[in-house]
Amino acid sequence: MSELLDLARSVAADAVEHVRALRPRGRVGVAGTKSSPTDLVTAIDRSCEELIRARILAARPDDAFVGEEGQDVAGTSGVEWIVDPIDGTVNFVYGIPRYAVSIAARRDGVDEIGVVVNIATGEAYEATAGGGAWRVDGNERTRLTGPPAAPVDQMLVATGFNYVPSVREHQAAAVGRMLPHVRDIRRIGAAALDLTDLAEGRLDAYVEQGLKPWDHAAGALIAREAGLVVTGPGGVPDERLVVAAPAASVEEFLALVERCRF
């Protein structure tokens, strides 16, 4: 496990350097769009994913690799890497300092390690299954324990929106129904950082629909290892729904999510 974590840390550090070196001042040029005209990709997203993929597969050629921007690679070792080279691409394009590299590895379908680094600020988070979640500042490591459980009407809830207009319309309506019942809503723009913010206690709960595995794989392990419940339909987060909250308040929060018709 520590071999996977060491590799993820070192590759994430290279990815951060790569993106910082290439990012121009001001706005970043857009190379294309994906699921809708608002779903952006830049040449730097692509080159960063190529770098991550090349480094991981050079070290572990038998592993599988799934990334946001490229072709999936099948493997034979039972280890699968799930990577978002820049989660929060719209923030990255506009220069809002909330975008991150997100690297997770699963063994035989079980999450084993997760590393998330805010590329703009250097804030770094990591977790191993059973080994806790940590914020890493140079040589200093701080264990993450999530927020204290709060009643839903005092929760600061993060969410996000899909890029497909019809999905957004549904999401906006659900968030509108939730807003009167919680402290407030945050739409920060990078799911991986929403989950690490939650692990750090900067938020009280999180709900989002339409996420892909690379958006939440690493952040979900970090949140779980910080003691939060990360769940979804049938108890497993997936594209239909990802919910995260402290164990003591997750039932109450899930009931609200259901009432708001997410």
Which of the residues 202 through 221 are near ligand IPD (CB under 6 A)?
208, 210-211, 215
Using CB under 6 A, which of the segments 139-147, 187-195, 217-225, 241-249 binds ligand IPD? 187-195
Six-digit token pair at 239? Answer: 């594209």
> In the complex with ligand IPD, which residue's Cβ is closer, 214 or 253?
214
87 near ligand IPD, rule: CB under 6 A: yes
Spatial neighbors of 51 by CB under 8 A, at least 6 apart, are 14, 15, 18, 85
Q: Is the dihedral of CA 217, 221, 226, 229 positive or negative?
A: positive
> In the complex with ligand IPD, which residue's Cβ is closer, 238 or 252?
238
Gap between the Cα atoms of 22 and 7, Å rounded: 23
Six-digit token pair at 254? Answer: 């899930």
Which of the residues 17 through 76 are near ligand IPD (CB under 6 A)?
68
Least distance from C-beta 188 to ligand IPD, angstroms? Answer: 7
- Considering only 56, 66, 88, 242, the residue that binds ligand IPD (CB under 6 A) is 88
Least distance from C-beta 58 to ligand IPD, angstroms? Answer: 24
84 near ligand IPD, rule: CB under 6 A: yes
Gap between the Cα atoms of 169 and 167, Å rounded: 5
> In the complex with ligand IPD, which residue's Cβ is closer, 60 or 262?
262
Gap between the Cα atoms of 81 and 112, Å rounded: 10
Exposed/middle/buried for 170, CB within 10 Å: 0-12, 13-18, 19+? middle
Residues lying near ligand IPD in the complex (CB under 6 A) are found at: 68, 84, 87-89, 160-162, 189-191, 208, 210-211, 215
